[in-house]
Amino acid sequence: MICIRTQHFNLNRILLLAVGLWPYQKSKFVRFQGILFFGILSSFIIFQLTALIKKDCTSEFVIKVFSITMIFNIYAIKYNMFWINTHNLRNLLEQLQYICNELKDENEIAILIKYGNNTKRYTAIFTLLTICLTLSTVILLIWPLIFGTVLHINESQVITMLTEYVVDREKYFYLILLHVNIVICIGSTTITATGLMILGCIIHICGLFKIASYRMEQAMTTKMLQNINLENQTTICKKIFYAVEIHRKTMKFTNLLFSSFEGSFFLLIAFLVTSLSLNMFGIFHNASLGDMESVLLHLIIVLIMLLYMFVANYAGQEVINYSNHIYSTAYNVRWYEAPLNVQKMILFILQRSRKNFHIKIAGLFIISLECFATLIKASMSYFTFMYSTQ
């Protein structure tokens, strides 16, 4: 028997434990850790928004503040999304484990192991990428400080491009820098851990769809159809039933997964599109001023958001493709040589699979590559409007 949590989601478990979001082993320390981390993320957002009250607000200043604040709002939303849905996440993992426990065929188990290994591989790759991007951002923040001792650069330039604290920057410089770096580390770990957990579930969903297609193929093999008797007919019906059953359970699991986080996903889409537009504006605006450090910072943010949006929508596209593969498998088998009652069962599968099964958020967004293009187009439209009114 395969233990999903320890064999396929072990690295995901470590990442979620690091930020206090693993749904198991909820001790008092973990609860305190969750409150502390969410408080740190929220404090950064509050400090930035407070600057809008304390200082004179020009359009450029407002855009600068919100281009950064939106990113940390996304961190807070992702953290809160998993924190309040701890019970739902635990139930989802248990349901996935229950579905996997029902697999008895060695080939089906091999398919599941293959997709479990894909989960571990992608988790490791994106974790390393996050570490590199986080280190790059931290180095970018302290870069002027490193050379400031030689070139006598004002130390407050280190955080000017990223933060708008209302306190005296010269006096509390090192505390502010520490706070910013802690927020970046917590936020990047949070968005990586939560995103990879959902991505891992989607990879397993694709694996279960693959098993459904495999069962359909095995039910209608040439050997079975060459000798149609009562025993073979019963065997074919059972195999088709098992294929339909795992297909139904997989769709149910998928709908439950995304319905648990539907409201948070809708907020994430809105914040991602807005933040992408603001940071693209920040790139062009700071480039015109010759502030290359700020340009590089906004560019890193834009690249991270584009990568995040692409991976999320590509995963949704894969769910559509794997679901459609069941339809093509049922259509291409030699159903015309099967008994009439078996043909009726296959017709039922064809009718059910004829409609694309997709991941839909708030009834508006179908997660797919087409959705990714639509979101990019919307972001570009908002950016063009802001840049034209500059």
Tens-place pLDDT, residues 64-77: 778 888 888 889 99
Which CA distances in Å does 216 have to 44, 173, 230, 246, 328? 53, 65, 19, 11, 11
Q: pTM (2 decimals)?
A: 0.87
Q: Which of the four pLDDT bands, split at 50, 70 and 90, describes residue 223?
A: low
Q: Burial of 12 by CB count in 10 Å (0-12 exposed, 13-18 middle, 19+ buried)? A: buried
Query: What is the mean predicted confidence (pLDDT) over 365-387?
Result: 88
Find which of 189-198, 209-218, 244-253 is predicted with most confidence, using mean pLDDT.
189-198
Query: In this model, does residue 106 exceed pLDDT 50?
Result: yes
Cβ neighbors of 353 (< 8 A, separation 6 or more) are: 247, 323, 324, 326, 327, 330
* Residue range 305-322, pLDDT digits in tens: 899 999 999 999 999 888
Give the residue-averaged pLDDT of 55-64.
70
Band the pLDDT of 47: cuts 50, 70, 90.
confident
Tell me, what's the pLDDT at 127?
93
Residue 353 has pLDDT above 70, yes or no: no
pLDDT on residue 262? 81
Question: Whose CA is closest to 312, among 274, 367, 363?
Answer: 367
> 110-142 burial, b for 16+ CB within 10 Å, e for fewer?
ebbeebbebbbebbeebbeebeebbeebbebbe
Total domain count, the chain: 1
pLDDT at position 203? 94
Contact 232, 224 (CB under 8 A): yes
| Full residue range of the structural domain in which residue 293 is found | 4-388
Could you identify the residue written with the tokens 């319905």? Answer: 259
Average pLDDT (21-25) is 86
What is the pLDDT, as a whole number, of residue 117?
92
Task: Assign 360 to helix, strand or coil.
Answer: strand
Residue entry with tokens 């049922």 = 330
Indicate if the pLDDT at residue 148 is higher than 60. Answer: no
